[in-house]
Structure 1
Amino acid sequence: CGHPHPISGESAPITMGHEFSGVVYEVGEGVDDIEVGQHVVVEPYIIADDVSTAEGENYHLSENMNFIGLGGRGGGLSEKIAVKRRWVHPISNDIPLDQAALIEPLSVGYHAFVRSGAKQGDVALVGGGGPIGLLLSSVLKAKGLTVILTELSAKRKEKAKNSGVADYVLDPTEVDLKEEVMKITDDRGVDVAFECTSVNAVLDSLVELTKPAGVVVIVSIWSHPAEISVHSVVMKELDIRGTIGYVNNHEDTIKLVED
């Protein structure tokens, strides 16, 4: 409150909701490639108008980047919302709108997959089975990876198993995580690991269980400082990569859902 966002000009309170879908009820002047009645999802960025969203541009890293529903501009809990054409992505009208609303966080998982450089046949370790961890795992499975997911919550473990997004669901309070992962990978370690919890103990285990020259991707947003075994990173030549949001990933993510 009292601190307007530099781009939207709005300050709290605002209407929340950055993960949403909708039905087009009107189009602006010059818009001829989207029709009234069409189902769409919104890539909910608030980014300055002069920032290019062309292929290869890192517009998601631009100054003062924020999200509709967090920094203003309406929000998915509005009855109606007006957005610029470049943020609107058509989807098949066969996709239920409540499912389509999850394309936004699914795109987060898709971008994390792209950042990792992982490929079909790799073994991935996902630390955390919350919404992002589960959706990321579904992308990895769709791309032909073997997925090991670690989680403590009974409900989240149940969801991971029932949805089929993970080949192995391990609870570190019930099994020896290192022993199990090494058994699965023939003592090599995983090719790629994804941190989806902002819990230091999880990050430590991912660094330990990723094979030499492997990749650790930090997906969660940390609100506190973290520690990492730099010695392990150096001696194993690990790549530690961050990822935020998505950047021209909606089209591929939507295709996954439609297929």
Structure 2
Amino acid sequence: MRAARYYDRKDIRIEDVPEPELTPGTVAIDVAWNGICGTDLHEYLEGPIFIPPAGSPHPISGEEAPVTLGHEFSGTVTALGEGVDDLQIGESVVVEPYIIRDDVEVGPGHSYQLSDDMNFIGLAGRGGGLAEKIVVQRRWVHPVGDIPLDEAALIEPLSVAHHAFVRSGAKAGDVAVVGGAGPIGLLTAAVLKAYGLTVYISELSAARKKAALETGVADEVFDPREVDVADKVRELTGAGADVGFECSSVPVVLDMLIDAVRPGAVIVNVSIWSYKPEVDMPALVLKEIDLRGTIGYANDHPAVIKLVQEGRVRLAPFITARIPLDELVSGGFDQLINNNEEHVKILVNPNE
């Protein structure tokens, strides 16, 4: 079967690899769609980050570069390993793409995303969504019912956004300011609106500002070249926003959020940083701001799938292109790097 293999920075190759083997307790899936994630772009431009470099195998998967990419994917169940009796052949599913130790508890209340040596399918091995087929442990497979498979490929990043919302402690009626209207910023805003928050977004890109307003995930969008975003938020709220979400990995955006939230507010960092930014610690201290990290998700997928099934989050408007596997770099990575203002989520069909 064909797969996109990561060798090193700016070195991704479409290759033929053996089909994965079905084993007890696993599920075989034909991949339908895989979304290109911001993490994939970081790996392509600056990595390896999550990907274990050649010569340094991951302690759980035992794999190292080259690895098959892709962790935002949907597909159809084609075979069930021994002991798996609660799924059906032909069922539409998504995968919660974790690599964690077998003895780590994953039920409600368990923070398995923080377990030792945690990593992700499609980054640290065990196949990936940028391949025709994949076999995964049953515990990571989530049925999606009648959600279209292209939209279902966005369940994974939507779960990242949902986990950030959970981490924030925000509630209906609160005011949120989101820094950055890239894919994760827009999906974070979508989750916040679904739970009844007022949402303001700071964004430079005309296309992304338009997407935020047309999809209804933002009450207002502010361009920091045209207005002081923090002043505008205070003008609208009085003391400032109740919660902020950093979704850009840009230092000036983090500064804006610290300025824009009220004293005692929470800021959640959602983005992946490839370097250590400066943080305005005096303002953080004087305003008693709670700056929180977030990584991945933990038991968020069921709630997110329900949000989509109930129509509280619409995913179709965020899909801006669909490409075959052979165009992964030219039509996917290059577009998101050089023409990112025109795209939110590019989906790849590994079977084309």
TM-score interval (norm. to shorter): over 0.9
Q: Does 1:67 align with 2:128?
A: no
- Residue in structure 1 matched with residue 272 of structure 2 by the alignment: 221
| Unaligned ranges ≥5, structure 1 | none
Using the TM superposition, give the Cα deviation of residue 11 of structure 1 relative to its aligned residue in structure 2, in angstroms. Answer: 1.2
Q: Does 1:123 align with 2:195?
A: no
Is this contact kept in 1: 2:230–2:257, CA < 8 A? no
Counting matched residue pairs gives 257
- Residue in structure 2 matched with residue 143 of structure 1 by the alignment: 195
Distance 2:160 2:251 in 1: 21
Distance 1:67 1:179 in 2: 40
Q: Does 1:107 align with 2:144?
A: no
Partner SS state of residue 212, structure 1: strand
Deviations 1:16-43 (A, max 9, x none): 1100011000111111111101111000
Distance 1:17 1:9 in 2: 18
Counterparts of 1:215-254 in structure 2 under 5 Å? 215-254=266-305
Q: Does 1:36 align with 2:76?
A: no
* Aligned residue identity for 2:143: P
- Residue in structure 2 matched with residue 154 of structure 1 by the alignment: 206
Deviations 1:228-249 (A, max 9, x none): 2222122211111110000011
Deviations 1:199-231 (A, max 9, x none): 111111101111011101111111111222222
Distance 1:192 1:54 in 2: 28
Corresponding residue to 1:166 among 218, 225, 233: 218
Using the TM superposition, give the Cα deviation of residue 126 of structure 1 relative to its aligned residue in structure 2, in angstroms. Answer: 0.2
Using the TM superposition, give the Cα deviation of residue 157 of structure 1 relative to its aligned residue in structure 2, in angstroms. Answer: 1.2
- Residue in structure 2 matched with residue 45 of structure 1 by the alignment: 98
- Residue in structure 1 matched with residue 14 of structure 2 by the alignment: none
Q: Does 1:3 align with 2:56?
A: yes
Is this contact kept in 1: 2:93–2:144, CA < 8 A? yes
Distance 1:68 1:154 in 2: 34
Corresponding residue to 1:98 among 136, 147, 150: 150
Identity value in percent: 63
Distance 1:57 1:119 in 2: 22
Show structure 1 runs of 4+ deviating over 2 A: none
- Residue in structure 2 matched with residue 12 of structure 1 by the alignment: 65
TM-score by length of 1: 0.97
- Residue in structure 1 matched with residue 44 of structure 2 by the alignment: none
Q: Provide the aligned C-alpha RMSD in A.
A: 0.9
Structure with greater strand percent = 2
